[in-house]
A and B are shown apart, each in its own frame.
Chain A
Amino acid sequence: MSTIEQEMVHAAEGGHHDDHELPFIRKYIFATDHKMIAKQFLFVSLFFLVIGGLLAMMMRWQLGYPGEPMPGGMMLPDAMMAPTPDGAIMLPEFYNSLVTMHGTIMIFFAIMPLLVGLFGNLLIPLQIGAEDMAFPRLNMISFWLAVPAGILMLASFAVEGGAAGSGWTSYAPLSASGEWTGVYLGQQLWLASLTILGFSSLVGAVNYITTVINMRAPGMTWFRMPLPTWALFVTAILILLAIPVLAGALIMLLFDQTIGTGFFRPEVGGEPLLWQHLFWFFGHPEVYILILPAMGIASEVLSNRARKPIFGYHSMVMAIIGIGFLGWIVWGHHMFMSGMNPLLGTSFMISTMAIAVPSAIKTFNWLATIWKGDLHLDSPMLYALAFVSMFIIGGLSGIFMASSPVDIYIHDTYFIVAHIHYVLFGGSLFAIFAGITFWFPKMFGRMMNETLNKVHFGLTIVLYNMVFWPMHNLGVQGMMRRIYDFTQYEYLAPLQPMNQFISISVFLLVAAQSVYAFNFFWSIFRGEKASNNPWDSNTLEWTVPSPPPHGNFPEMPVVYRGPYEYSSPESETDFYPQTKPPSKPPVQELIPEPVTPTPEGF
């Protein structure tokens, strides 16, 4: 976090003082308070989100206007752009770096830290009624490992040979030796950066898991946990099990690159497919790491803004857990064309089809949640509804690719790019917008401006679909992904107008994000002051001041019921906070088991 950002956070919290004031450096930089660490992740990831967007714009320039000079390209070094009298034209090696770094930065440095770093840190302790994470210092280490990882990743643009250029999936042997790409140091920095980031995630995951198991407030049984916390808990388990596999593979590849081992290099007896198996054994659970917390956030916002209990709470939890298990046996669907034994293709097809079922269950439950609700269509709700709407599209396109014979044609085409973005932008990122807007008052003590958010929502949902919907059509026409100049192929040349349409839409889409950025920073200082519970929510984080003091809960909360008791006939209002003692003489099952404030409560 830059000093400016720290000052902004400081200013935002102006006036609010904890009982024991920490020195500046402990409070804002080497912070151990989970809420501050959440904000640190927030600011850093937003920065990377912007970088990722800029990389995408450059890529789209080349695709919309292949071989034409890029506006502003003269400012970039000759290693990236070829200067001509009319301006600078993008080099293919730079294009490959852009593809690689856009994917890497968005997945590992924007979406993942937003969902896990921001929401994991912010929500888990607050929603289970804990004073902080189980290991606050470990939490601090988790953030401060992510920072050097980010710096290394960005620095790789500046080294000789440029940044890594073998895709975010970094397939060997292309990635295993600089002789194939001309990228030596850049690829090594990519590997080192992700290894460090992996440690950051691992440390965070251990912390989340421990916190959820050990630090729930009295009465906060497993099935009274809010769905974001459930999702983040399962996500943390996925991280704990998947990241070591990635880290191992990254280190092996780094050895291939630097000290001449041959894990993935066939000329010295290695096996390129081993990389793919290891990468996707991590990679598929990773995509669920990127969607489960988003599903949790959407569930929370939908139920709250519909003023209605979440439909099928238990099957929502079971679907999360089901995805958590099934996610481990589907990785081969990324490898149908890889040359692995084709008999395996069928097993992976069936498991992949099966994993669409929990996604369907969740979707129907979301629809049933808003059915007969009292829908408050304010901006968090709009973002959450957009999440459902776009996730449907991404999930359905997954069925095409899951069918291995159909995947023969659409694998490695823009169809895949469309799928990825419907689940990760339409899905995860819209849920992130919903979550940031919804919990903004809890983070900063102020509300975001509703009008600006609605403008942002309207522009984004329209432009987003103008960008990514036609990518399905490009894929159906056979346009490959990761291709510098598709007009080299005669049969793809007619796709130029559609590509141009997409590129222009991207430029507008990125520009539209400035509305959110402005609103975000403006509201930190000038937003309307927020009450403790501006959304009339039931969960524990809304029982404490916005933002909550150090230690969160002045006294140990006691939980009496599930998190989604909206419009309950037992309550005079249309919400029924988890901590509110029952007004009637309690029915047997409503009594929280341990009445003494012990951390177990199970």
Chain B
Amino acid sequence: MNWSWMLPPSFSTVSGDIDGIYMVILWITGIIFFITEALLFYFIFKYRHKEGRKAAYDHGSTKMEIAWTMVPLVIVLWISVVSKGVWDTVKVDVPPAGLEIIVTGKQFEWTVTYPGPDGALGTSDDFETLNELHAPEDEAVVITLRSEDVLHSFFLPEMRIKQDAVPGRDITVWFEAIQPGDYTIGCAELCGIGHTTMGGTLTVYTAADFQAWSSSQAQQQQP
């Protein structure tokens, strides 16, 4: 059993920042957790009823109220500021695409559409893979995420990417992998009876290997 609070390893250009904020929050909340729980247990022990004990007649202290309003406020606002930067990098500022693809969710599979040799989507040399996403390392993969039926959520745990696919909308989501290998694709939004089976594999290649894979696919899938 893994009782660890450490995130599993991640492999994208932004995942380190996400994991970093997680660690910061883990430290902050961890310290607050230990202090508050320790105080609670200490007070329970120290002030438990004994013959002759009389409770202090004390209604509070404005100074203390101000202190424990301002300190948490400053902490959470600081976390927000740090978080905003990373959020913008991941979700708002989409970098120039190294590879542009379309990912379409439908009950219960992911279809990935690649641009083919001409490098442009929506042309006749486009080709598809099912429940497999193939991508080069060190290139921003910019995905247009779609759904044909209900909500799905496109989840790449090792890339720290999650984005709901919404029917009727094109949603842009991107990642840039930093290491070749096989990774998980999951569906994180309940989408019906087969939701549990809606997984797949993300395969990241070196640039050269990806070229090779891509052209062989393009050839195979051409009529």
Contact of B80 among A337, A353, A486, A566 (CB under 8 A): A353
Interface-central residue, B39, B64, B196, by most chain A CB under 10 Å = B196
| Contact status B162-A174, CB under 8 Å | no
Contact mask A98-132 → B, CB, 8 Å, 1/0? 01000000000000000000000000000000000
Query: Chain B residues with Cβ under 8 A from A137's Cβ?
Result: none
Chain B residue numbers with a CB within 8 Å of A472 are 5
Contact B56 A373 (CB under 8 A): yes
Min CB distance A317 to B, Å, is 12
Given the interface contacts A174-B192, A488-B199, does A399 sit within 8 Å of B21 by beta carbon? Answer: no
Task: Indicate if A60 sits at the interface (CB-CB under 8 A).
Answer: no
A597 contacts the other chain (CB 8 A): no
CA distance A356 to B17 in the complex (A): 23
The secondary structure that dominates the A interface is: helix
Q: How far is the CA of A494 from the CA of B4 in the complex (A)?
A: 14
For residue B69, CB closer than 8 A to chain A, the reply is yes
Q: Is A180 an interface residue (CB 8 A)?
A: yes
Q: Mark A354-383, 1 if CB is under 8 A from B, else 0.
A: 101100110111011011111111000000
The minimal Cβ–Cβ distance linking A176 to chain B, given in whole angstroms, is 9
The 8 A CB mask of A152-192 against B (1 = contact, 0 = none) is 00000000000000110001011000001110000000000
Q: Are A357 and B69 in contact (CB under 8 A)?
A: yes
Pick out which of these stretches binds chain A: B115-123, B133-141, B150-158, B210-218. Answer: B150-158
Residues of A within 8 A of B223 (CB): none
Contacts A345-B87, A349-B84, A377-B48 hold; do A354 and B60 have CB atoms under 8 A apart?
A: no
Neighbouring A residues of B166 by C-beta, 8 Å: 266, 272-273, 338-339
Min CB distance B129 to A, Å, is 19
Once bound together, how far apart are the Cα atoms of A29 and B65, in whole Å?
A: 47
Whether the pair A411, B188 counts as a contact (CB closer than 8 A) is yes
Q: Is B29 an interface residue (CB 8 A)?
A: yes
CB-based nearest B residue for A489: B199
Of A266, A313, A574, the contact of B168 (CB 8 Å cutoff): A266
Contacts of A309 in B (CB 8 A): 57-60
Say whether chain B's binding surface is mostly helix, strand, loop, or mixed: mixed
A343 to chain B, nearest CB (A): 6
In the bound complex, do residue A173 and residue B149 qualify as a contact, i.e. CB atoms below 8 Å apart? yes
* A473 near B193: Cβ-Cβ < 8 Å: no
Asked, given contacts A271-B168, A363-B36, A372-B58, whether A412 binds B160 with beta carbons under 8 Å apart, the answer is no
Residues of B contacting A581 with CB < 8 Å?
A: none
Q: Would you give the 0/1 interface string for B37-65, flagging 1 where the beta carbon is closer than 8 Å to chain A? A: 10110011001110001111111110011
Minimum C-beta distance from B54 to chain A (A): 6
Bound Cα distance A497, B1 (Å): 6
The reply to whether A393 and B58 form a contact with Cβ atoms under 8 Å apart is: no
Q: How many residues of B contact A (CB 8 A)?
A: 86
The residue of chain B having its C-beta at the shortest distance from the C-beta of A405 within the complex is: B86
Return chain A residues, CB-CB under 8 Å to B157: 409, 478, 491
The reply to whether B57 and A354 contact each other, CB–CB distance below 8 Å, is no
Q: Is the CB of B44 within 8 A of A385?
A: yes
Question: How does the 8 Å CB contact mask read for A392-420 relative to B, with 1 for contact and 0 for none?
Answer: 11001101101111101101110000000
B contact residues around A490 at 8 Å (CB)? 184
Compute how far the CA of A489 lies from the CA of B196 in the bound complex, rounded to whole angstroms.
8
Q: How far is the CA of A180 from the CA of B188 in the complex (A)?
A: 17
A273, A342, A350: the one contacting B92 at CB < 8 Å is: A342
B2-16 vs A, CB cutoff 8 Å, 1 = contact: the mask equals 111111100000000
- 0/1 per residue, A283-325, Cβ < 8 Å to B? 0000000000000000000000011110111110000000000
- A308 contact from B8, B39, B55, B77, Cβ within 8 A: B55
Query: Quick check: B47 and A574 within 8 Å, CB to CB?
Result: no
A522 at the interface (CB under 8 A from B): no
Please report which residues of chain B, range 156-193, place their CB below 8 angstroms from some CB of chain A when the two chains form the complex: 157, 160-169, 171, 184, 186-193
Contact A181 B68, beta carbon cutoff 8 Å:
no
Q: Are A92 and B193 in contact (CB under 8 A)?
A: yes
Is residue A454 within 8 Å, beta carbon to beta carbon, of the partner chain?
Answer: no
Question: Is B73 engaged at the interface, CB distance under 8 Å to the other chain?
Answer: yes
Q: B18 at the A/B interface (Cβ < 8 Å)?
A: yes
Q: Are B91 and A342 in contact (CB under 8 A)?
A: yes
Contacts A370-B43, A399-B29, A567-B56 hold; do A174 and B190 have CB atoms under 8 A apart? yes
B186 to chain A: closest CB distance in Å?
Answer: 6
Question: Is there contact, CB below 8 Å, between A567 and B54?
Answer: yes
Query: Do B60 and A365 touch across chains, with their CB atoms under 8 A apart?
Result: yes
Distance (whole angstroms) from the CB of A531 to the closest CB of chain B: 19
Contact partner of A353 among B8, B43, B77, CB < 8 A? B77
Contacts of B65 in A (CB 8 A): 312, 315, 361, 365
Query: Are B25 and A399 touching (Cβ within 8 A)?
Result: yes
* Contact B193 A182, beta carbon cutoff 8 Å: yes
A 555-598 binary contact with B (CB < 8 Å = 1; else 0) = 00000000000111100001000000000000000000000000
**Contact in complex: A412, B43 (CB < 8 Å):** no
For A315, the closest partner residue in chain B by CB is B65
**Complex contact A360–B193 (CB within 8 A):** no
Decide if B68 touches A361 in the complex (CB within 8 Å): yes
Contact check, A396 vs B33: say whether CB atoms are below 8 A apart: yes
- Return A301 CB to nearest CB of chain B, in Å: 14
Query: A214 interface residue, CB < 8 Å from B?
Result: no
Contacts of B56 in A (CB 8 A): 308, 372-373, 567
Are A349 and B1 in contact (CB-based, < 8 A)? no
Is A529 on the interface with B (CB-CB < 8 A)? no
Which of the listed residues B17, B47, B55, B193 has the most CB atoms from chain A within 10 Å of its own CB? B55
Residue contact A171 to B151, C-beta cutoff 8 Å? yes
Known contacts A404-B87, A476-B7: A180-B149 contact under CB 8 Å? yes
Interface presence of B130 (CB below 8 A): no
* B-side contacts of A495, CB under 8 Å: 2
What are the interface flags for A479-496 relative to B under an 8 Å C-beta threshold, 1 for contact and 0 otherwise?
010111110111100110
Contact among B44, B53, B167 with A267 in the assembled complex (CB-CB below 8 Å): B167
User: Are B49 and A374 in contact (CB-based, < 8 A)?
Assistant: yes
Answer whether residue A513 sits at the interface, using C-beta atoms and an 8 A cutoff: no
Check if A213 is an interface residue, CB within 8 A of chain B.
no
- Kindly supply a per-residue 1/0 record for chain B positions 60-85, scoring 1 wherever the CB is within 8 Å of any chain A CB and 0 otherwise: 11001100110011001101100110
Q: List 22 A-B contacts (CB under 8 A).
A: A307-B55, A342-B87, A346-B87, A349-B84, A350-B77, A354-B73, A357-B76, A360-B72, A363-B36, A374-B47, A375-B49, A377-B44, A392-B32, A396-B32, A400-B29, A404-B87, A406-B18, A412-B155, A412-B162, A412-B188, A480-B186, A486-B196
Given contacts A308-B57, A361-B72, A489-B184, 6 further A-B contacts (CB under 8 A): A99-B190, A339-B163, A392-B40, A406-B18, A497-B1, A567-B56
The 5 closest A-B pairs by CB, nearest first: A266-B168, A312-B60, A353-B76, A342-B91, A372-B56
B-to-A contact residues, CB < 8 Å: 1-8, 17-18, 21-22, 25-26, 28-29, 32-33, 36-37, 39-40, 43-44, 47-49, 53-61, 64-65, 68-69, 72-73, 76-77, 79-80, 83-84, 86-88, 90-92, 107, 149-151, 153, 155, 157, 160-169, 171, 184, 186-197, 199
Residues of A within 8 A of B (CB): 92-93, 96, 99, 166-167, 171, 173-174, 180-182, 266-267, 271-273, 306-309, 311-315, 337-339, 342-343, 345-346, 349-350, 353-354, 356-357, 360-361, 363-365, 367-368, 370-377, 385, 388-389, 392-393, 396-397, 399-400, 402-406, 408-409, 411-413, 470, 472-473, 476-478, 480, 482-486, 488-491, 494-495, 497-498, 501, 566-569, 574
